[in-house]
Structures are given as C-alpha cells and as structure tokens.
Structure 1
C-alpha cells in the first residue's frame, strides 16, 4: 500500500466511523461500537505501517488561492509526526476497547463512541498536518471534541460547567496562538511547516530576533491553554467530570499533549528564541511544583492524576526549554503510556466501587482487584520515576538537560517536583493497597462476576507492558528524531534515585502505617492552601469573573434602559402623535371647511397687515 493511501486511511478511517455512527446507528449502539472500534484499529494499523516505512516526502494538495497566497492541505511524515501518530492511535484504540465495558449501561453509547472517533480524527489530522493553518484548524476541532466529551453527561450541572470552563480557558490561549499564526503569514507569506523550519530560508534566518520572540511567545500562549500550564491550568482538574476513559484519552497522549507536541513540531523556532525559552522554563517550573502540591492533598483519585498530568507536562516543557528535544519527546511518549494506564486502572476501581475517594476505595477492598492493583503499581512507579520503569529513564534525561542548559535553580526545582511526585503517587498507592481498615462492600448486581471484564482488562495489560518497557526505547526515539544521545552512568542516576526513594519513604511513613494523616496536617495553613488550589480559582472569580459580571451588567443596563429605552420612548411618542392626528382626521366635511376658512382668513390678515 502506497504512502498516500496509508495516510488517508489512517486519518479518515476515524472520520468515517464518526459519520456512520452519528448519522445511521443511533438505534444500534452495539453496531456503533463495532464500527468505531474497527475504524480505530484501521487508524492504528495505518499509523504503525507509516512509522515502519520511515519518513517520507510531505504530501501537499492545493486548498485554495487568495491573491498571491496559496493555502495547502496535506500531511507531514517525518520522524516526530510518525512516532506521535502511533502513540495517539494506540492510546485511542485502548480507550475505545476499554469503553465497551465501562460504558456498557450508558443509554447514549452511540453518541459517546461517535465523539471518540471524531476526536481521534481531529487529533491525528493535527499531528500529521503539513500546514500551520491546517494545524490550527484541527487544533480547534480537538478543543471542540474535548468540550463535547468532558460535558458528555451534560445532565449533571458540574459536567456542563466543567466543559464550559475547559472550552473558555483554552480559547484564551487560542487567541494568542491565532495571532502568532497570522504573524507568521505576515512575515513569511505562507504556512508551510517544512518551509518555516528550513535552516536556510526559514523564519529563523529571515526574522529579527524581536519578531521571532514575539511569534514564539504568542504560540506559547496557546500551548499554555491547551497543555494546562500556569496560570491557565485550573480547567484540567474540573474536566474529570467526564467519563474516566475520556480522562485517559484527553489527559495522557492527546489533547493536553497537543501543546507540547506543537512546541516540539516548531522546535527550531523556539530553540532560536532564547527569551521565549527562558519564559517557558519559568512557567513550566512553576506549573510542575504548583500542581504537585495540589496532588499531595486531594482524595479524588482522578483529580490526583489530573494534577500529576499538569505537573508532568511542565516537566516536558522544562526539557524542551532547556534545549533537549529528545528529553521532552521521550517523556511525552512514556507519560502517554503510564498516565493512560493509571486513568484506566482508576476507572476499574470507580466502576466497581462507585466512588472516586482514595480512602474509600482502599477500605472497600481495592487491592482485591488484582489487575487494577498491578496496573496501579506499574503506572504509579513509572510516574514516580522508580527504576527500571519507563518514567525513570525519561525523567533522568530531563534532569540531565536541565543540568546542561537550565541552570542550578531549575535543576533543584525539578528534583523538588520529582520528590513531591514520588510522595503523592505512593500516597495514592498506599491509600488503595494498605487501608487502615476494611469495610464491607456489596457490588451492584451489574458488576457481579465481571469486576474486570476482558474489554477493560486487555487495554490495562497492553499499557502495563508499554509503561514497563518504554524506558528502553530511548535509542529508537532518538534515532527517529535524528538526534544523538549519551548514556548515563549509575553515578549520574543516583541523585534521581535518591529523590524518588525519599518521596516513597515519606509516603510510607505518612500513609503506609500510623494514623495516615500526612505531615501536612501538622501545617494547617499549607494544608488549606494546597487543598484550595492556592486559591487561584477564587482569585479568578473575584477579579475576572466579577469584573466581567459588572461590565455585563453595565452594558445590559445601557442597552435596556438606554438604547432600547430611548427607542421605546421614541416609538411611544410617534404613537402619541399618530393618535392625536387621528383625532384631527374626523371625516366631518363641516370641520374641514371651517378649518379652511380659518387658515385662509389668517393668511389674508397677515397679507393685509403688510406681512
């Protein structure tokens, strides 16, 4: 099969699944599941074959012409795109198969699976886009699909509110991205990504440093919104209101990773903009630390994982800002595997015990669910950076990158964030697997005999293998990116191992035994600060939401009492004048004759007086 056929099958199979399911299979949810699953399998098969075939020449098709500007639609097939396309297709297929069991009793299954297919089409089309405007269009479609999926249970006010919040906060970032994209057109005259990155005639050689800095900073604003970085990070924990498989899909390798991927895709531009990279390094470091502190105290298993996603995305951006494309992309791939695994394991617990509370899951017998517990241990170990799991190796590359190009302060901050990651991850593990007591739990009839059905178990097994083995893929990932790497000695790795070990030990002392209260309970001010998310949402409500409300009230008053009221009064005056003139028009001939005599007499008098 040639490259054109493969890429079209890979990107448009999910779109075909979406169209068929949403238009024709509303009353056949089982068939809709089959169609969407088959379309995702085709997409994964095509993505894998494209990756095995290796990089190919970009495919471009003229979209339309506007004056001297030609706009193209096509596919970019270099190492980064091909590798990330496989990751997106794999995670999506795992989530779709898992959803067959998780959403078995949902009355809106057809809509759910159709939206998953729509999301995959938008995400894959974004990944393979050859044109920056094309990338932006599918970037927006990814946001639209995530809005529908986060608010899938729109009957719940909290889910509808979370979807609106995610949509609005990411749109704030997208405004900056759009301005940056338009500046690219103004300065380069085209949107072609290979042309923009060309080392001889690309933007780096054509633009003044200040202009390049402005463009990259504006693009970074979009990345901040999509990848939930400070200060636009607060939408992500609320997005956990969606179904758990949606959380696994959006918050591992797809939506939130899109921002990191965009920076990696345009990396030569960011590498040449030193001021922008300094800003990114500061923002990403703040985000990694801030989110880790929130994860230390939350009891909702999905929100703990959401905060960890925010923090790990900060790690990726720190690596890219420090000058290591390999470290950022390596952690992007490993994180996709172990974070999707953790979300799917949390879904197994939630599906069976009908609660998100970590302590309640543990007390209800969470460790009795063997596959979910094994997946939790593997995924949690990888997230914490326990060797020899995948997260350890990708984080070690980040520490090395920061040591070479990030500065001592950022390296220390990264180690601090890694320590907190190990602490909150094993806090989660110990609360589930080492409960302080066991309480009787009676499973619903629906779950009897099917605590871990095969459709939910199979993706967990696949992702567990990936999270375990991906640490050994470093050489292959580096070769795909076309970069050379050096292997670290055991001595180089000891600081990272020590930091992780310290976090695990402290988590054991706090939650593996004793009163399980945690050391933060002895510092109530910090406990309250972290539990309330540093009061950032409250600040937004007090400042931006309140000011917006005041402005809206003022404008509403101006419209209702000013513009509308003025026109209403004018209309009433016209009606009054019309009513008065209607009384004059009585239809009496005698009255009209008398009026004529009076008028003629008045005129004669005026003329006679010499007027």
Structure 2
C-alpha cells in the first residue's frame, strides 16, 4: 500500500467505526459494537506506526504532503483537501491514536450497562476522526474542520446523559465558550489569507519570508494574526478567560473526560500554536502575552484545585493548570518543551482520569473524595497505577512528569528567575492538591456507606489493562527527552522536532539563542523543584493521613478557603457581567422591537387577508354576473377612451 492511501485510511478508520455503530447502535450486539469501536482507533494507531516507518525511510526527512483534490479554487487562492505529515503531526498522531485506543477499550467496561452504549461508542469514534482531521489536515481550513468537529463531539459527549438538565447546561457552556475562541481563530485564518493568499502549511513559510515582504518582526499584522490564533487556543485549551467550561465538562462520562483532557481536544490549542511557530516567533510581543496569560492560568487553576472535593474537578483544574505550563513553554519559544509536556501529560492525565473512573465505578458514581478513603485494600491495581500517575504529575523523578516539567522550569529560569519562582509555586500547589486527592481517596478509613463498602471491588480487566499500560508510559515517558546532563544525546524528541522550527530560526534567530545555564545550575533547579514537591507531599500527608483531617463542607468554609472553594466566583462574575445583561437586553428587544416588527409583519398579513376577503365576494360562480361584469368593464373602458380623445 502506498503512503498516500495509508494516510487517508489512517484518517478514515474512526469515521468508518462511527458510521457502523451510529447506524447500528440499536440493532447490533454489544460485542460487535465493542469490537468495531476499539478496532478502528487501533487500526489508526497501527497506520500511524507504518507512517512513521515510511517517513523515516526517506533520505531527507521532509514533510509528506498528499493532495487528494482541489477544495476551493479562486483567482489567486487555492485550498486543497490534503494531508500533511511531518514530525509534529506524527508525534501528535502517535499519542492521540495510542491513548485514544486505550480509552476506547476502557469505555467497554465502564459504559457496558448504559442504555446508550452504541451511541456513546459511535461518538467516541467520531471524536477520534475529528481530532485526526485537525492534526493531519494540510492547511488551516482543514484544521478548522477538525477543530469544529472536536467541539461538536465534546458537546455530544459532555451532555451524553441528557436527562440531567445540569449536564445539558455544561455541554452548552462548553459549546458556546469554544465558539467565542473559534471566532478569533477563523478571523486569524481569514487574515492569513488576506496577507499571504494561502493557508497551506507547505506554502505559508515561504509566503511569510520577511526578505520578500514589507513585514518586520513584531509588525502589527504579525502580532494581530498571532493573537487571533491564540484566542482560538485560549478557548480550546482552556486559558484565562475562556477556561471555565473545562471543569464543567466533568458532567460527561469519565472516559469522555479522559479523552478531552488527555489525548484530544485540549491539546489542539498547543498543537496549533506549535504548528504556527514561525508566525508566533515573528511576533515576540504576542509570545509575551501568551506567557503572561499562561502563568496566570497555571497559578489560578492550581490554587482552586487545593479546595475542590469532586475527584474529577480536582483533575479538571489540574488540567487547566498543566495547560498553563505548556503555554508558558511556548511563550518563551521552548516549543519542544511544551510538546514534551503535552506527551507526558497525555500519559499520566489519562491514567488519572481513568483511575478516577475506576473509583467512581466501584462506588456507584460517588465522586466526593470526602466520602471515600481506604480504597487501597479493595482496589490494588487502581491504587498502584493512580499512585504512579500522582507521582508523575507532581514531578517526582524518575517519572515522566519530572523530565517534562523541569525542562519547562529551566527555560523559564533562563528567561527570568521571577517566572521560575512563580511557576515553582504552581508546581508546589500541584503536588499538594494531587496528594490530598490521593490520600483522601486511597488511605485511611473508608468514609462511604455500608452498602458501598459491601460492593467494593477492583474494576474489570477491560478497565485495569489500560491503567497498567498507561502506568508504564507514565514511568518511562521521560525517556523521550532526557537532559544532556543525564545522557549525552538523550534528547531524542528535541532532535526529532528540530526541523519544525528551521523557518522560525532563520527569520528570527535572536529568539532561539541557546541558554547558557551551567550543569551545576541545572542540578540546583532540579533539586529545588523536587524538594518543593516533596515538602508539599509531606504537608499533605501530615494533614490528611497523620491528623486524619477531612475537608469541611463548603457552607462551613471561611476566608481564603471559601474563596478558593467557590473558584474565585468567576462563574458568578461572568453570570452577572455578561449573561444577565445579555438576557435583559434580549428581553428589552423582545418587548419593544419584536412587538413593533410583529405589528408590521402581522399587520401586512392581516391587511392582505382583509382585502382578499373583500375581493373574494366577487367570485360568485354565476356565469350571468361574470358576463355582465365583462360587458360593464368594456363599456367603462370605451367611455374612458372617448373622454380622453376629447
């Protein structure tokens, strides 16, 4: 099979699964639905591995671009339906399809008793297809199709249990807030067309060449394009102020949370910025804005996570915070470091969500960590794998999160020690709230009901097998990019992704000057980072294990604790400042302009109806009257003409 056909099939496999299960969700047996749902993303994963082989078989590792037909052809503009495979796309494909397949397998056990099982699995396959379109598309418009596709699928899956009105509200919130970001993205793409007459990845770097244009580094056009694109990323990847949809997205079934937070949707913004790295690199001012927003998001979300008691919402705010770290890396032009954290985060965050789902499944949908405890004895596999993921996200060596997080911290230190200190504070909060969650869930005495305790058991193999695989990846994922101080030439990911930034380095070499940090400083930064994380873990242990403290009900919280438990009242502020004024204005329009419009529209209709009623009386159906009317009309016409001649 040629590479062009293989690439198309890799994209289409999940779509085939969606069509089969979508049409047969009520008729096909569950076993067949399960096989199709898991087999299709697995086929895409195998296809990705084969594409990796074809890509590496080249003498020069140049991007593979496959045009299938011309999509939009106009004077001076050509947009193709094409797929584009380079190092970045292949890296994204590998964990999207790999982790995505594990989540599909997990869903077989988690959702098997749900009455909408077939529909759910069909939606998951559609989600995968949309994400693959986003990653594999050869231009910004194809990326936008996938971008909107994952937005649609998130709406369908967050509100999957649609008999619960609050779940529907969460789905609508995610959909609307993402549309706000998407407006920025599409305006950015339109501006790209206006400035350079192309949106093709393979052509755009040449079109933006500063030596052939009047643009200068940090020109207002470049800054505007970069910021418009980043607005799209703010929505999809949950950055201030468009982050509040992501915690509410926990309304969906847990596999959805894992798929959105780890493998697909929220990584789209990071991917898009890295894909557009040459545009952002030409606008350092835009990168500075990205850095500031990312730092604020990371600290805000981490502080909120300390006082959350819903197991999934703790992980949700953790995701928002970790996305902030990824964008911080991009903000200092450390694009590979950002992508490295995307990959390791996909491993341990998927494991955390699926582990949380295992706990929720065992406790019959209980999600409050205050009603858990002591699950280590009943769920050993979930306990061990969750512990590994918690150590990884806390940045404890040798787990994957240590390598990727510390690489980001090092770049921040090179930019400014103040940035490093603030990011380190966020890291300390991360370790604290994650081990708070871990200790309250798995250690101590069980605080649930006797009925829950009676039915406690480990999850089935379809759920625990993905946990074990992800645990291995959470341990060994850091090997993708080992720092030079540990192994010379161990930075394989940096070497692999280096060609992606060649254009940006040529256009703005000053941005990519290597940081001069001594090995002793690197060891010091790592040591401080690990020490801070360990202190946070010890503090959490003393409070929640040694002293057996259990968080108070929200109604009893006071001061800062109450402020954080209520998430800084951001949702309430949005409701007061944005939602209610819009609703009031809409009511005003409905009670004034709408009435006036209705008067004219309805009045016109009533007038026509009235006149029609008058003229209808002339239609008697009697021939004599019709003949008389004709003769009378003829006489009047003759008389009229006779008077005119006079």
Q: Deviation per CA, 1:95-152: give whole Å up to 9, x if none.
A: 0100110011011111111111111111011111111111111111111111111111
Distance in 1, matches of 2:123 and 2:12, equals 14
Residues 67 and 83, structure 2, Cα contact 8 Å, conserved in 1 = yes
| Partner residue, 2:269 | 259
Distance in 2, matches of 1:543 and 1:288, equals 24
Partner SS, residue 251 of structure 1: helix
Alpha-carbon shift at residue 203 of structure 1 (Å):
10
Residues 253 and 336, structure 1, Cα contact 8 Å, conserved in 2 = yes
| Partner residue, 2:535 | 502
Distance in 2, matches of 1:457 and 1:108, equals 23
Distance in 2, matches of 1:34 and 1:81, equals 27
Alpha-carbon shift at residue 437 of structure 1 (Å):
5.2
Residues 33 and 100, structure 1, Cα contact 8 Å, conserved in 2 = yes
Q: Which of these residues, 197, 205, 210, is aligned with residue 205 of structure 2?
A: 197
| Partner residue, 2:428 | 419
Q: Deviation per CA, 1:569-589: give whole Å up to 9, x if none.
A: 4555676778899999999x9
Distance in 1, matches of 2:31 and 2:611, equals 69
| Partner residue, 1:471 | 478
Cα RMSD after superposing both structures: 3.0
Aligned length: 591
Distance in 2, matches of 1:145 and 1:437, equals 37
| Partner residue, 2:185 | 177
Partner SS, residue 224 of structure 2: helix
Partner SS, residue 72 of structure 1: strand
For 1:132-211, what aligned pairs fall within 5 Å after superposition? 132-198=140-206, 201=209, 207-208=215-216, 209-211=219-221
Alpha-carbon shift at residue 10 of structure 1 (Å):
1.2
Residues 176 and 218, structure 1, Cα contact 8 Å, conserved in 2 = yes
Residues 203 and 212, structure 1, Cα contact 8 Å, conserved in 2 = no
| Partner residue, 1:516 | 549
Distance in 1, matches of 2:590 and 2:3, equals 56
For 1:393-432, what aligned pairs fall within 5 Å after superposition? 393-405=403-415, 407-432=416-441
| Partner residue, 1:603 | none
Alpha-carbon shift at residue 63 of structure 1 (Å):
2.2
Q: Which of these residues, 63, 76, 98, is aligned with residue 106 of structure 2?
A: 98
Partner SS, residue 442 of structure 1: helix
Alpha-carbon shift at residue 31 of structure 1 (Å):
1.0
Sort the Cα spacing of 1:571 and 1:167 in 2 relative to 1 into closer, same or farther, 3 A: closer
Normalised by the length of structure 2, the TM-score is 0.85
Distance in 1, matches of 2:606 and 2:552, equals 71
Alpha-carbon shift at residue 444 of structure 1 (Å):
9.8
| Partner residue, 2:31 | 30
Gaps of 5+ in 2: 482-490, 500-513, 626-631, 633-646
Normalised by the length of structure 1, the TM-score is 0.90
Alpha-carbon shift at residue 454 of structure 1 (Å):
0.8
Alpha-carbon shift at residue 439 of structure 1 (Å):
5.2
For 1:353-502, what aligned pairs fall within 5 Å after superposition? 353-354=363-364, 355-362=366-373, 365=375, 367-405=377-415, 407-436=416-445, 441-442=450-451, 451-474=458-481, 475-482=491-498, 489-502=522-535
Distance in 1, matches of 2:464 and 2:427, equals 30
Gaps of 5+ in 1: 590-595, 597-611
For 1:28-427, what aligned pairs fall within 5 Å after superposition? 28=28, 29-53=30-54, 54=56, 55=61, 56-64=63-71, 65-198=73-206, 201=209, 207-208=215-216, 209-354=219-364, 355-362=366-373, 365=375, 367-405=377-415, 407-427=416-436
Sort the Cα spacing of 1:6 and 1:371 in 2 relative to 1 into closer, same or farther, 3 A: same
Q: Which of these residues, 586, 589, 595, is aligned with residue 561 of structure 1?
A: 595
Alpha-carbon shift at residue 517 of structure 1 (Å):
4.9
Sort the Cα spacing of 1:16 and 1:24 in 2 relative to 1 into closer, same or farther, 3 A: same
Partner SS, residue 497 of structure 1: helix
Alpha-carbon shift at residue 17 of structure 1 (Å):
1.1
Q: Deviation per CA, 1:443-488: give whole Å up to 9, x if none.
A: 599x78x632111011001100000001111022112202799995
Distance in 2, matches of 1:303 and 1:244, equals 11
Alpha-carbon shift at residue 50 of structure 1 (Å):
1.7
Distance in 1, matches of 2:5 and 2:76, equals 31
Distance in 2, matches of 1:265 and 1:206, equals 23
| Partner residue, 1:593 | none
Alpha-carbon shift at residue 345 of structure 1 (Å):
0.3
Distance in 1, matches of 2:36 and 2:605, equals 60
Partner SS, residue 228 of structure 1: coil
* Mean Cα deviation higher: 275-284 or 407-416: 407-416
